[in-house]
Amino acid sequence: MSQQIAATQFSRLSTLKNALVVGFLLSVLLSLAKPFSIPLPFVPVPISLQGSLITLFIAILPGSISMTAIGCFIVQGLMGLPVFGSGAMGPAAFFGPTGGYIIGWFIAAMAMHQLQTRTGAFSQSLANLSLAQIFTRMAFATLIVYAFGALWLSQFVGGLLNALRLGVLPFILGDVIKAAALTAAVRGLRPLSRKS
């Protein structure tokens, strides 16, 4: 019995270690995506590849890994590293107009993780996911990010309607296109996941 408990604990520690290592590496990848951000003069939120990569991670990775990656990425920004596409650094990034989107990333990862663990409906591995399922998951995560982002942004732009007009509507088409492109790109990873 004690050997079985020890084996279980070792397995959990190994899984945690793997999640931390992979999560950190993915957080570095998110940081490297910062140059692919385009500030828009008429809205306080930039067009960014980071957000789409984050929703892709949420869609195709186990919840523990996506939460670790996003958490590490957020901590890097909180420490003052210039990782966010908005250009904000340190605690100011969380209290500025785009702070809700940053928090929304982690909330979306938590929500997907809960669906994976409680219902099993979202627990398929990448090898078993259809492209439609990946796209739908990305859309689900994006809606959560939109919701938190718009609610927080509303404090800076005079209400929720203005927040939707400035922080959501201008980005829907671009996010759909980026999600479709990233979903198609994942096609090349699926044979690799089947071999692993």
Residue positions counted in the chain: 196
Q: What is the CATH number of the domain that holds 16?
A: 1.10.1760.20
Question: Which tens digits make up the pLDDT trace of 89-105?
Answer: 888 888 999 999 999 99
pLDDT recorded at residue 2: 46
Contact call for residues 86 and 98 (beta carbons, < 8 A)? yes
Alpha helices, DSSP H only, in 33-130? 49-60, 63-78, 92-95, 99-118
Q: Which two tokens stand for residue 86?
A: 């908005």
Residue 38 lies in a domain: no
CA distances from 186 to 60, 136, 162 (A): 9, 14, 35
**At a CB cut-off of 8 Å and minimum separation 6, what does 81 contact?**
31, 89
Residue 153 lies in a domain: yes
Range of the domain at 80: 2-32+44-195
Q: What percent of the chain lies above the pLDDT cut of 70?
A: 82
pLDDT recorded at residue 124: 62
The span from the CA of 166 to the CA of 158, in Å, is: 11
Q: Which helix (H) or strand (E) holds 159?
A: none
Question: Which tens digits make up the pLDDT trace of 146-185?
Answer: 999 999 999 999 999 999 999 999 999 999 999 999 998 8
Number of domains in the chain: 1
pTM score, whole prediction: 0.82
pLDDT recorded at residue 25: 85
